[in-house]
Structure 1
Amino acid sequence: MKNVLVTGADGFIGSHLTEYLVENGCNVRALTQYNSFNYWGWLEDVGCLKDIEVVSGDIRDPHYCKQITKNVDVVFHLGALIAIPYSYVAPDSYVETNIRGTLNICQASMDNGVKRVIHTSTSEVYGTAQYVPIDEKHPLQPQSPYSASKIGADAMAMSFFNAFDLPLTIARPFNTYGPRQSARAVIPTIITQIANGKKQIKLGDVSPTRDFNYVLDTCRGFLELARCDQAIGEIVNIGSNFEISIGDTLEIIRELMGSDVEFLTDEQRIRPEKSEVFRLWCDNTKIYGLTGFKPSYDIRSGLQATIDWFTEPDNLKKYKADIYNV
């Protein structure tokens, strides 16, 4: 498992996973989305930049996917469009990137004899919980174009295991947070606005619950699944088995930051009624049984580490706290 490709390596989780894999002795080829600025996203900030091979391209191009999967043992496929609000206005781009991009990566991996593919899913595919905690047999509910595209991507990935014996695992992380996360997510939104001295913060519905997981735990879950032969052909949740409301999460952030900020409801930020996922709570029995994985960070320690990173001036200035990030 020495030669590894990470798609979406320029993103939040992908950049952390790249660092984590280097620390664990892997030779990493890190795919960033091509742009004319030669900008590598969050890889610009990693300490292992000299130890990785950075390539720039697009998973929507099957020929390029075939090129970058050559001489690779393991593919961690994280490349995707992820923002739920943007999927309401540009759903076709989610189909092209998430479904067709996954098809291209799986086809290229099969053609080049890749030994393991870890395909990244999301807890959003479950929709609002019909029962809790949510195990891998929970029905899938496409409550947004984003989640629909990920359901399609998961199905495409699994078809390559069933039809062609591609040694593939679907990793389904629940709500990951931590340093470098996009400000479109609620935790960075709150931290950056408090750090910039805001006295009032506009939010959508804070009653939904989530199973929040610190990013280093998610990365460790990915690596454990890649090492586990029994996980081939399986869909596996990565989560903490701990449920907390968004409102209670914000109260912890306010307490840890010593803030008296006021939270206000903004109708613009509320999802369409049938699109809101009101409850997510991970059953992590399967990953524990397969690998022994348990999260190392509880919600308070993870939030403190996140706050410490975001409140560093050099990090804080990279975020536009005065705009609503879609």
Structure 2
Amino acid sequence: MSRLVLAACLCALLAQPAVAEPESPQPAARPKQLLLISFDGAHDNALWVKSRDIARRANAHFTYFLSCTTLIPRGESKGYKAPGMKAGRSNIGFAPTVEDVAARLDHVWNARQEGHEIASHACGHFDGKDWSKADWLSEFATFRSVVIDAWKANGLADKEPEGWATFARTGIRGFRAPYLSAPDSLFEAQKEFGFAYDASLVTKGAMLPDEDGSLIRFGLPLIPEGPQSRNIIGMDYNLFVRHSAGMDNPSRSDEFEARTYTAFKAAFDKEYEGERIPLQLGFHFVEMNAGAYWRAMERLVTDVCRREDVACVSYSAAIDLLAQQPVSPRS
């Protein structure tokens, strides 16, 4: 072969397009870590202000499990009757004045406009462990009626926001039972009444919600806490009982805050660095042990909720996000 022919062959080979290397599969994007903060009772107007302010600064949205007797002034208490109880009885009392109710209604509506969720905590905070399905349905119906009529019943019809009645009828999608007391009759009643989810369970650790027919069931997790890392429900009241036997001890408030924050952050980090199962933490509208547990909550949401791969959301929003980004084990 002549040198000219050889050179031409080499040029032809060099002119051929290079064969592309097969691309390595890209790892699937990890789902966002969900953090669900909720409040039971939602009565104290000062804590409505405080919680909404915390959320605004931390880029968080909360779920407020509202008790309906907080929308009934004490003078009108006889209008409420819980299953098996005398009229006018409530374990959490009633609103002191119409003005107090008006302020709370304003918080409820504005919180919803800000992206928070309003859910149901029944009315008089009774333990329904022995209630029948009919008893639960009666309490649900009372709650809905009280919320629908709250402005008019308190002489505030001229201040009722447009859309309130629709919200009260169809916008309250979830329920948490007082005392987390959740018999089978509760779940049967929730399905019939049309609730989308229940948040009354307790689970061994952070777990994905279960689907029981038409009802999605969430559970507050047991999390390690304290020097011995003993498990406890991730809720302020349970910590209050462990730390100080349910008696306020302001002198140790900073200590209790530190213990609580450490437990909360460790529980969050476990899921964030692991399979990214949503973490749920529950609170009440009472600042136990001089606010130790609220301060720990505020520290946590301030630390994590502005991260791009974290979403601090309501229960309803979590349901939608989980449908869009199912959780899978870390590769």
- TM-score, normalized by length of structure 2? 0.29
- TM-score, normalized by length of structure 1? 0.29
The structure whose Rg is larger is 2
Where relative contact order (Cα < 8 A, 6+ residues apart) is larger, the structure is: 2
